[in-house]
Structure formats: structure tokens, C-alpha cells
Amino acid sequence: MDRKRLNELERRDFVKLSVGAVLVGSALSSRTSVWAQEASRPEIRNRRETMSYRKLGRTEIVCSRLVFGCGAALTGGKAVRLLDRAFEAGINCYDVGSDIYYKGSERSLAPFMKEHREDIWVISKAPTSFRGKAHDEISVGQAREGAAYWTKLLEASLKDLKTDYVDAYSLMAVNNASLVQSEEIGNAFRKAREGGKVGHFGLSTHNNAQAVLEAAVKTGWYDLAMVAVTPGGWYDWDSKDLAKDTPSLSVLEPFLEGLRNKGIGLIGMKAVRHIAPKAALGKGDPTAFDGHYDASVKAWPFNPYQRSYAYVLAHGCDVVNADMQNFRHLEENLVVVNPDAVAV
């Protein structure tokens, strides 16, 4: 059987899986006014009845609560076949990243972006050149060099995306609070925005997250924050484990709510990485978060990965970014953000 035929069969099988799971969710959660409330909001791009949406902070972005993580998924064009199904399901936000890290992902997204440009939001990101430790104090020279590097990668991203404008562009994998607050970084974003190249400024962080986020609030520059967070608390990409001494998400929730109240849209990421199989850099223990769930959460009709996403959505994050590389994962994740689903 050829690959195209195999992919079509895989897709149909898991569309059926999704429908069945949504029916289970419907039995436990009647359709209330959720859809009516969301339908009344202006300019919800690619709005579908099977998707829930959330406005991100002070931006005009009303985002599907499931964000399609394009970075690793589209590297080398691996999961391009999922994009049409994601759009059909109501996903309207696509997060990608610079070619410096995600080789070819922006180029892989470009044709889809062109076809649906007015119906989707596109976020990309790039690192700076600063390689200091989390608690180092950045110098003016280092900040200036880092800002120039980030600007260079922004220009390259626009070229790879075949566009002259992206809805948001972020500092990628930032762990240093002094870098976040650097005037050189702020000036680089303002120049890009004034040049009509980018709409909003954001950051992504999965190390020293709380200090980074506190610094971002102080500046007033950052509209979006993509944070590595799980039901068990902060996730540390460096150790591939929960951050040392992290509070649980239930304890962190007021802090996240405070960020949202300051106008920062929160995008959760790495919500299931800790429990993923070891081949996917996880711990291979899908029960690892069970101690953080009460009886009502354990009763949700979800598998461990769905439950983790739903819990993060219900405890402080506006939306969740998922790196989906096959139809099974996409369909399972779509169940969680259906308006009939428990918790969201």
C-alpha cells in the first residue's frame, strides 16, 4: 500500500476514534452556553463548533485552545499531512520556529499559511546569541549582540514563511531575566513592529520560568508567554524532568492567573513530555501525575495524556501547544478541547 493511501486510512481511523470519545464527553457534560458565548466574540478565525477558543491577553488573537506545534512536527516536512485536518477541526493558531533550530519547519508551513492566511494566526520564534547561565547579569554589549542576532533570524523567518508579516515573534527558550528586561531586546521588537513585520512580542521558556515571567511582566513589552508547565509544575527542558523543587500546578495557578490579569496570554507547552515514553525523552510513566489529581479529575474520560492537557487548560493556561506528529495524537488532543469535553 502506498504512503498516501496509508495516511488516509490512518486519518479515517482516528477521526472515528475522536467521534466516539466526544460522545463519551457529551454524556458527562451537557452542551451549555459555551459555544454561544464564544460565537459572540468578534473575529474568531476559522471558528468551528467542535473547537473552544480563548482570547490571549491584551492581544486581538482569539486562539483555538489547542495550538498546532509545528516546530519539530514539520521539520523536514514530516507532519505536513496533518495541517488540513487541524484546520478542518478549528485549530487557528500555528506555532513554528526559526530554521536555526527547527530545520525546514517554516518552509514546510509556508504553503499552508499562504492558503489560509486570513483564517489563522502564525507565531514563530528565535533564540538570541546569549549563551550565559540563567542567573548571569547580561552586559549591554551582549544584549545588543543578542538583539541583532534575533532580528537577523526574524528576517530569515519571514523569508522562509514567504511573508512580510507574522502575527507574533518571540524570544525562544529564554532563561535569563536580565536578557528579558534588556532595553536592546525591547528596542529590537519595537523596530520590527514599527516596520510592519510583527504584531506581538512574546517569549518561550522552559528553564528558570518563574523569574523569567516575573521579569517579562515588569517590562510591559511581552504580550504572550509560552511556558513549559505540567500538572506537576514547571518542566525543565535541560534535565528533561520536572524542575527541581517546583510547586505543583495547583500551587502555581494563582501566579499564572496574575500574569493573565496583567495582559499576558499564556500558552502551555511540554504538558505531557514528562510522562511520555523514554523514546520521546519522557520518563515512560503515564501515572506520574496521578498524585496531583483529585477524584473528579481522575473521573474525566481521558487517557493520561489527554488528562494532562485538560488539567493544564483548567489551571491557568489559556491554550496548550502540542507537538502532534500523527493523526492519533491529533485526534486525541482534539477531544480535550471540544466544547463538550470535561474541564475546558
Residue 81 in domain: yes
Residue 139's pLDDT is 96
Residue 255 in domain: yes
Q: Compute φ and ψ for 207, nearest 5 degrees.
A: -165, 130
Neighbours of 119 (CB within 10 A): 11
Residue 344's pLDDT is 75
DSSP label of 137? P
> In sequence order, what DSSP letters do the residues of 172-230 get, joined into one string?
-S---HHHHT-HHHHHHHHHHHHTTSEEEEEEEESSSHHHHHHHHHHHS--SEEEEEEE
Domain that residue 52 falls in = 3-337
Residue 8's pLDDT is 47
Residue 53 in domain: yes
Block means of pLDDT (10 residues each) for the chain, 344 residues, are 44 46 39 44 87 97 98 92 98 98 97 98 97 94 97 98 98 97 97 98 97 97 98 96 97 98 98 94 95 96 97 98 95 96 80
- H-run or E-run covering 243: none
Contact 32, 317 (CB under 8 A): no
Number of domains in the chain: 1
Length of the chain: 344
Residue 179 in domain: yes
Residue 343 in domain: no
Q: Which of 290, 325, 330 has its CA nearest to residue 66?
A: 330
Residue 214 in domain: yes
Please report the sign of the dihedral spanned by the C-alpha atoms of residue 184, residue 128, residue 164, residue 193: negative
For residue 235, what is the domain's CATH number?
A: 3.20.20.100
d(CA 128, CA 123): 17
- H-run or E-run covering 340: none
Residue 344 in domain: no
Residue 342 in domain: no
Residue 302's pLDDT is 97
Beta strands in 9-100 (DSSP E): 53-55, 62-64, 66-69, 93-95
Joined together, the cell numbers standing for residue 278 give 523514554
